[in-house]
Amino acid sequence: MFEIARTKTFRGSDLQEAFKGFRKNKAGEKVEITVEVLDAGDGAGSNRYVVSAYSLDGKEAHGTGAATLEEALPNVRWDGLDYLLERKGTPEPVALERTIR
């Protein structure tokens, strides 16, 4: 993946950064994704960083908290970007505009 755009926003006292890039899916196709990194700050300890990724077609991948960004990135369930999960009720489309302000 390579970075093509980066923004910073603050959510409460947390710093949220969004990166746009590309990823190859299981079919070998290059798919545009947005990766969000939430930094809860020094006081969050082992849950400082959380990473999520979103594709334009509504797929999502989320990770668990980690003390470093290097630990948080592999925690993401990247295969979630290959499958559209069924949700109960009427799903709302993912709006990437919400991540890039």
pLDDT band at residue 54 using 50, 70 and 90 as cut-offs: very high
Tokens of 30: 């290059």
Tokens of 21: 């890039």
| Burial of residue 72, with CB atoms counted within 10 A of its CB: 0-12 exposed, 13-18 middle, 19 or more buried | buried
pLDDT at 8: 56
pLDDT at 9: 57
Summarised one tens digit per residue, pLDDT across range 4-51 is 455 555 555 578 888 898 988 888 888 899 999 999 988 899 999 999
Q: What percent of the chain has pLDDT over 90?
A: 41
pLDDT at 12: 57
Query: Domain residues of the chain, as ranges?
Result: 5-98
Place of tokens 């505009």: 97
Residue scoring higher pLDDT (81 or 96): 81
Q: How far apart are CA 51 and CA 49, in angstroms?
A: 7
24-48: buried (b, 16+ CB within 10 Å) or exposed (e) per residue?
A: eeeeeeebebbbbbbbbeeebeeeb
